[in-house]
Structure 1
Amino acid sequence: MNKKIFSRALVILGLTFGLSEISISATTSYPEAPIKLVMPYPAGGMSDVSARTIAEVLSKKIGGNIIVENRPGAASTVASNWMVHQKPDGYTLYAAPVSLVLNPILQTEVGYKPYEDFTPISMLLYSPFVLQINKDLGANNVKELVALIKAHPGKYAIGTSGVGSINHLAAEYFINQFGLEMIVAHYKGGSPAAKDLVGGQIQVMFSAANEAAPMMAAGRTKGLAVTTSKRLSMLPAVPSMNEAAGIDDFEAVFWMALMAPKNLPPEIQTKLSTAMQELNNDPQLIQKTNALGVQFHASSPQEVVDNLRQDEKKWGGIIKKLDIKP
């Protein structure tokens, strides 16, 4: 072989090997600095507290320090827009909500593309809802509630925590599923809606499980069904909507996933996803998140994409059909 060609081949081989060494070294040493986990909601809420609980355990798992930074606004679009301009080095992660894929449909303009601008890592949590009613409404189960509403079209109101929120979409899904005619009353958050549910200004509402449980326990409301396919460990006496109504396709949950800006190195994506999935076997973490009213669930990156596409089709279809605008 020509000596010059041989020398060049050795140089190329050396460079390739060197780059491989750098890649392996970067992965094994990651993380070398604190990791920022961006939360698109205010501090102190269910999503924030739950994500902080998971982040604390994940920090120990990967031998790093994860710091939560809250960037609320525009139903998570503020945080989503900010994330696409961050370095894909693994030191800025995102607790991305389901609204990541819904806001481009709901809002006039967003500064990101949900599939192209983010790297999926793992699911984080699921937050189910409880179908609650005013305690004096006169229905003891879902079938009785549906019959009551059908007997009085337009009389009863169902509350939401805001236009385009998941519990608003769940309300529209409920109305459509059972062919009901109801007033849909929008509030600025779940708390004022829950207050009016107790007061009787509205009669029905889908509430986050952690918010519904204490109200039900105190006898202030009645919980008729949960919006997951199975019963919840924190409310074992409450049937699923499918069970209560005799149907097989009613499911409505809020979820969050761990994501990063696009072009995250595959080695870091794999390291974080693997670490997350190992937490599925942590009974203390599962117990803590269950107590908060959410279900911890880590997954492969593909499951994140599957959930995005599934909810884009499901909720996006409802948004477009009803021309829902924030």
Structure 2
Amino acid sequence: MTIPRRALLALTCAAAALLPVAAVAQTTDWPTKPITMVVPYPPGGVNDLVARAVADRMSQSLGKPVIIANRAGAATTVASNFAAKAAPDGYTIYAAGTSLVINPTLQGNVQYDTKRDFRPVSLMSVTPFILHVHPALPVADLAGLVAHARANPDKLNIASSGIGATNHMAAELLKEAAQIRLVHVPYKGGAQAGQDVAAGNAQMMFSAAIEAMPLLDGKLTRAIAISSNKRSPAFPDLPTIEEAGGPKGFNVIFWQAMVVPAATPQPIVDRIYAATRKAVEDPELQKQFGRQGVELRGSTPEELQQLFDREEKTWGTLIREKGIKAE
């Protein structure tokens, strides 16, 4: 049977009219299946543990499992490239780290644009770094460290988790601001670098609080200052870099933040935002991670975008001026 042209046109228009209704219904019903949270780090580290704790609380809020997918590699670029190209349907969310805004300048060949491909949702956590030294280094504070470094240019090693890692950026910023010449020694991870500081193969480094704690407790290294612009409740007696006489406004933290593909619908973003904020504001989780020097902290999407812009400008400028290249 042949359908008259006028009737066919009417059917087509009716079907087209139903498409927005179906899309709205799909958005309203979200989530109807498990959600994947991409984590750019291997299992077991503090960033993975934060993501898993947040994912667990989000599962309770959203009524569907939030499943962790660890996609480590290429200094987190593997995960960032994957998340940027994921379907913008709310079923792939990304627990991004500071390298999200560092890598486009450092790597130069990433397959994403932070502003174009991602939509900021909320900050999740911030972790300051502890500047600590080998006990044999004849310094008691930051002023002594700077003076010793100036008297011994290019003779002291400062370790890091790797080229372009946030603690490497902290080291370069300190070198620049204090006008000291230290030899940067990159490692494949903060734990290995810390062990070499304890062994005396490097004289100092900025370590994530949780990685510095066992070395400090065992008297294997000595703390000098903390990299954030305020003291950490986990180390209340440890001065900030600025308090210790260092550069004013010095504030280097590692952050984790929730982002989604840019075209994710607003109603879904709103639900992810609410679930993320509820998770990071959980008193039990805050206490649990606070003991490890990690501050769970939420933000508005606008505040997170402002953080991205500041960090991208700070680290991009430093990388270009210092000619820092990825391995």
User: What TM-score, normalized to structure 2?
Assistant: 0.90
Instruction: Determine the C-alpha separation between the residues in 2 that align with 1:256 and 1:272.
Output: 15
Is 1:270 matched with 2:270? Answer: yes
Correspondence for 1:37: 37
Correspondence for 1:103: 103
Instruction: Determine the C-alpha separation between the residues in 1 that align with 2:23 and 2:36.
Output: 23
Correspondence for 2:306: 306
Correspondence for 2:255: 255
Residue type at the aligned position of 2:309: R
Aligned CA distance change for structure 1 residues 86 and 171 (closer, same or farther; 3 Å)? same
Is 1:46 matched with 2:50? Answer: no
Residue type at the aligned position of 1:119: R
Q: What is the 5 A alignment of 1:117-132?
A: 117-132=117-132
How far did residue 204 of structure 1 move?
1.1
Instruction: Determine the C-alpha separation between the residues in 2 that align with 1:108 and 1:316.
Output: 11
Correspondence for 1:228: 228
Q: Secondary structure at the match of 2:254?
A: strand
Instruction: Determine the C-alpha separation between the residues in 2 that align with 1:226 and 1:59.
Output: 34
Q: Secondary structure at the match of 1:256?
A: strand
User: Could you list the runs of 4 or more consecutive aligned residues of structure 1 that deviate by over 6 angstroms after TM superposition?
Assistant: none
How far did residue 136 of structure 1 move?
1.6
Q: Secondary structure at the match of 2:177?
A: helix
Instruction: Determine the C-alpha separation between the residues in 2 that align with 1:115 and 1:169.
Output: 22
Q: What is the 5 A alignment of 1:62-101?
A: 62-101=62-101
Instruction: Determine the C-alpha separation between the residues in 2 that align with 1:279 and 1:46.
Output: 16
Instruction: Determine the C-alpha separation between the residues in 1 that align with 2:79 and 2:309.
Output: 21
How far did residue 304 of structure 1 move?
1.9
Instruction: Determine the C-alpha separation between the residues in 1 that align with 2:53 and 2:244.
Output: 32
How far did residue 69 of structure 1 move?
0.4
Aligned CA distance change for structure 1 residues 280 and 55 (closer, same or farther; 3 Å)? closer
Q: Secondary structure at the match of 2:325?
A: coil
Residue type at the aligned position of 2:142: V
- Paired residues of 2:124 and 2:280 also in contact (CA < 8 A): no
Cα deviation code 1:226-267 (max 9, x no counterpart)? 111111111122111111125431111111211111210001
- Paired residues of 1:126 and 1:296 also in contact (CA < 8 A): yes
Correspondence for 1:4: none
- Paired residues of 1:37 and 1:93 also in contact (CA < 8 A): yes
Aligned CA distance change for structure 1 residues 280 and 79 (closer, same or farther; 3 Å)? closer
Residue type at the aligned position of 1:33: K
Residue type at the aligned position of 1:316: G
RMSD: 2.1
How far did residue 63 of structure 1 move?
2.2
Correspondence for 1:3: none
- Paired residues of 1:276 and 1:299 also in contact (CA < 8 A): no
Q: What is the 5 A alignment of 1:117-156?
A: 117-156=117-156
- Paired residues of 2:31 and 2:64 also in contact (CA < 8 A): yes
Instruction: Determine the C-alpha separation between the residues in 2 that align with 1:296 and 1:307.
Output: 16
How far did residue 269 of structure 1 move?
0.6
Correspondence for 2:316: 316
Correspondence for 2:212: 212
Residue type at the aligned position of 1:32: T
Q: Secondary structure at the match of 1:315?
A: helix
User: What TM-score, normalized to structure 1?
Assistant: 0.90
Instruction: Determine the C-alpha separation between the residues in 2 that align with 1:303 and 1:127.
Output: 17
Instruction: Determine the C-alpha separation between the residues in 2 that align with 1:58 and 1:127.
Output: 21
Structure 1: gaps spanning 5 or more residues: 1-7
How far did residue 64 of structure 1 move?
2.2
Instruction: Determine the C-alpha separation between the residues in 1 that align with 2:259 and 2:325.
Output: 27
Q: Secondary structure at the match of 2:196?
A: helix
Structure 2: gaps spanning 5 or more residues: 1-9
How far did residue 61 of structure 1 move?
2.1
Q: Secondary structure at the match of 2:214?
A: helix
- Paired residues of 2:178 and 2:246 also in contact (CA < 8 A): no
Residue type at the aligned position of 1:311: E
Correspondence for 2:195: 195
Correspondence for 1:282: 282
Instruction: Determine the C-alpha separation between the residues in 2 that align with 1:161 and 1:96.
Output: 17
